[in-house]
Structures are given as C-alpha cells and as structure tokens.
C-alpha cells in the first residue's frame, strides 16, 4: 500500500521557477545531461567558438545535405552551446527574456537537427537518444510548458528512448534518459494532483508510485551497464528518497563520493538522509563537509545557505541551540533558494534566539 506520508512527501514538492524539487540539493533543476557523444563533438571555450562550430557543420550540411551524422553533430553542438549558457543552478528566473529566448532557440534547433538525422537514418540510436535528451535536460523550453502539456509530450520523449534501446540494448544513456523522462512525468503529475481537487487520489498515488519505480528501474539498468557514471547514481538516489529507500540513498551517495568526492551537493544529500533517519552525528559531518567544499570553491549565495540551514536543523534536534542559532544566521545571511526554506529559517532563528536567551537568563 502506498503510505500516506509518501503522498504527503510528494505533494509537498515545491514548484520553483517552473521546475520541481523535493530536495533543494538534488533536483530536476540542476541536471547536467550527458548527451550521447559516441560521434565525437568537441566542447568549445566561448560562445563564438560554439557558433563557429555550428557554422562549420552548416557548411558541411550544405555540401552533403543527406548526411545524417552531420545533422546529429550540429544538434549536439547546439545542445553543448545551450548547456554552456545554462549551467547547473543558473535558474531561469535570473535570466532576461532575450536569454531565455536564445536558449529555447538552441533547443529547438537541436531538436530539429536530431529529427532530420533520424529521417535520414531511422536506425540512428544516438539521434533518438539525443532528441529525447533535449526535453529531459534542464531547460527554458520545458520549464515554460504547462504541466499538462509536459505529460502529453512525455510519451513522445519516452518513445525516443525506447527506440534507442531497441536499436542498442546495452545503451546505458538511453536507459538513463528514459528514467529521467519517467522522473519528470511523475513530478509533473504531482503538480496536477496538488492543483486538481477532483483528482482521484488513490488512483493518482498508484500511478505516481509506478512511474517513480519505472524511473528507479531505468536508472538501475543504466548503472548496471555503466557503473562509473556518478550522475546515474545521483538520479537513482533522488528517486530512492521519494520511494523511502533511505539506505539505498546513502549507498548511492557513498558510490558517488567514490567517483566524485569534491561535490558538496552529494554530502548535502547524504546529510539530509542521515538527518531523516535520525543519525545526527553523521548528518552534522556531511553538512560540515558540504560547507567546507562550498567555501573552498568560493560558492556562497543561496547554495551554501542551504547547507547551513540543513545543519541548523540538525543542531536544533540535538538541542545544541547556540550552534543552531549560528547556522540559521548564516543561512539567512547567504540566502536560500526556496521561499519555504527562507521562511522556516527565519522562524528557526527566532526560536533559537529565544532558547539561547532563556538559557542565558537561567545561568
């Protein structure tokens, strides 16, 4: 049976600048999608270099208009250009309308090129996978869609990954992409459930659980095929959290840290999980590691605030009110991405200040 607290967790997901997150540290928003690079397309250094790369492929296409690989490579170049200008945590709300329009155009052009490549070569597995990735990438285009439209388009996206898998059954990136498509579909359905009072909750809960399980299974298959890609573990850990598989979240975080031990967000995610299962000492250690990594990387605004906020909550549970107050102060100083976290941090600060004042008076 799908537990009530599970539904509450899902419904409590926050809509943030059109994107969805259940945890501030590992969300759909900050995905960096690995586009299939089996047909090598180099990353460029500047926007001018990306444009030169695109122009070069355009010239080659003009000479060889029936070469599917050239369209595919230009599509990859468009998406690399897109990723370079929309890095992780660079939220759309901070961008101008012109910047968002540019990002949408890059995605549209990439989609059209992958579609052309498929038309020329219907057995082009990488092109199917890349076209699917266009809509599962963090994106200006997808974030501007209504969630009902996202759900409708998800069938097309999933179909692309399934075609890629049919053509290449050992294609880890296609399983990963289909997992993300199911993941985003489930998140979109959460918003629909939350907003539609006439939604059949029991049926909706069953669909949600099944959709997240499909995402989990696809991420697991991708890991089986390629156990050294840390992002596969990251996405599976996200879904494991939603499915209340907390030990698996921790195991996946451990594996991620073996592969990428300098990522503060992984420590934050594991710290959040330890906090949830009431292993407070381990949670403090992980949040502290995250904070130290943010400081080392000179990352402060918003992001580091979340780590201080997380650690403050742990200190509060441990009744270490002085440290909790200090961390709530730091969280508010550096800022928090989610409005709900900001409000909770403000309340926590007031709560801890009262506790500290009371203790001081009783001395």
At 38, is the secondary structure helix, strand, or coil?
Answer: coil
Q: Would residue 133 count as lying in a domain?
A: yes
How many other β-carbons are positioned within 10 Å of the β-carbon of residue 198? 4
Q: Which residue has the tokens 């296609």?
A: 174
Q: Confidence class of residue 31 from pLDDT cuts 50, 70 and 90?
A: very low
- Do 99 and 135 share a structural domain? yes
Do 6 and 49 sit in the same domain of this protein? no
Which among 235, 34, 230, 20 has a CA at the least distance from the CA of 132? 34
Q: Considering 242, 268, 294, which residue would you say is the last residue of a domain?
A: 268
Token pair in block for residue 297: 């990387």
Query: Do 42 and 134 reside in the same domain of the chain?
Result: yes
Q: Are residues 77 and 220 in the same domain?
A: no
Q: Which two tokens stand for residue 219?
A: 């991420």
For residue 302, tell me if it sits in a domain: no
The 10s digit of each residue's pLDDT in 191-218 is 666 666 555 567 777 888 899 999 999 9
pLDDT tens-digit readout, 142-198: 444 445 555 666 778 899 999 999 999 999 999 999 999 998 888 777 766 666 655
Q: Report the predicted TM-score, pTM, of the whole model to 2 decimal places.
A: 0.83
Phi, psi of 301 (to 5 degrees): -55, 125
**Beta strands per DSSP E along 50-188:** none
Handedness of CA 44, 48, 50, 56 (dihedral sign): negative
On whether both 113 and 207 belong to a single domain, the answer is no
pLDDT in tens, 100-157: 788 888 989 999 999 999 999 999 999 999 999 987 764 444 444 445 555 666 778 8
Confidence (pLDDT) at 20: 29
CA dist 168 and 188 (Å) reads: 29
Mean pLDDT in residue range 13-28? 31
Do 111 and 197 fall within a single domain? no
Evaluate whether residue 327 is within a structural domain.
no
195 and 230 fall within a common domain: yes
Distance CA 124, CA 114 (A): 10
Contact 313, 284 (CB under 8 A): no
Q: Is residue 182 part of a domain?
A: yes
CATH number at residue 189: 1.25.40.10
Q: Are residues 101 and 195 in the same domain?
A: no
pLDDT at 185: 84
Residue 5: pLDDT over 60: no
Predicted confidence band of residue 84 (pLDDT cuts 50, 70, 90): confident
Lowest mean pLDDT, pick from 23-27, 81-85, 257-261, 302-306 = 23-27
**Domain boundary at 268, 285, 313, which?**
268
Domain count for the chain, please give it: 2
Lowest mean pLDDT among 47-56, 226-235, 309-318: 47-56
Asked whether residue 352 is assigned to any structural domain, the reply reads: no
Range of the domain at 176: 1-28+159-268
C-beta of residue 302 within 8 angstroms of C-beta of residue 337: yes
pLDDT digits (tens, 9 = 90+) for 246-285: 999 999 999 999 999 999 999 999 999 999 999 999 999 9
Q: Are 20 and 190 in contact (CB under 8 A)?
A: yes
């Amino acid at each position: 049976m799908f537990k009530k607290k599970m539904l509450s967790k899902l419904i409590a997901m926050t809509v943030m600048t059109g994107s969805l997150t259940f945890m501030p540290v590992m969300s759909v928003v900050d995905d960096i999608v690995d586009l299939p690079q089996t047909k090598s397309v180099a990353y460029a250094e500047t926007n001018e270099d990306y444009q030169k790369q695109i122009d070069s492929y355009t010239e080659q296409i003009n000479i060889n208009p029936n070469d599917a690989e050239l369209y595919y490579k230009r599509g990859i170049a468009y998406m690399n250009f897109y990723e370079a200008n929309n890095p992780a945590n660079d939220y759309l709300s901070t961008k101008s309308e012109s910047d968002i329009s540019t990002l949408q155009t890059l995605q549209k052009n990439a989609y059209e090129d992958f579609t052309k490549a498929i038309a020329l070569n219907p057995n082009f597995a990488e092109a199917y996978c890349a076209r699917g990735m266009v809509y599962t990438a963090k994106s200006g285009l997808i974030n501007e869609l209504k969630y009902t439209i996202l759900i409708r388009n998800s069938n097309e996206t999933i179909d692309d990954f399934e075609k890629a898998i049919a053509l290449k059954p050992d294609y880890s990136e296609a399983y990963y992409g289909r997992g993300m498509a199911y993941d985003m579909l489930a998140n979109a359905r959460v918003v629909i459930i939350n907003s539609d009072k006439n939604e059949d909750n029991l049926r909706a809960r069953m669909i949600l659980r099944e959709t997240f399980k499909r995402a989990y299974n696809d991420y697991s298959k991708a890991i089986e095929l390629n156990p050294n890609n840390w992002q596969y573990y990251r996405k599976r850990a996200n879904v494991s959290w939603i499915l209340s598989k907390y030990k698996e979240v921790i195991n996946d975080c451990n594996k991620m840290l073996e592969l990428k031990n300098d990522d503060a967000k992984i420590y934050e995610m594991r710290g959040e999980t330890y906090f949830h299962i009431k292993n407070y000492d381990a949670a403090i250690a992980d949040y502290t590691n995250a904070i130290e990594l943010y400081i080392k990387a000179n990352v402060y605004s918003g992001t580091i605030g979340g780590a201080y906020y997380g650690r403050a909550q742990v200190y509060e549970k441990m009744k270490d009110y002085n440290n909790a107050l200090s961390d709530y102060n730091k969280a508010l100083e550096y800022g928090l991405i989610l409005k709900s976290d900001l409000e909770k941090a403000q309340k926590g600060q007031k709560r801890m200040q009262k506790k500290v004042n009371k203790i001081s008076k009783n001395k």
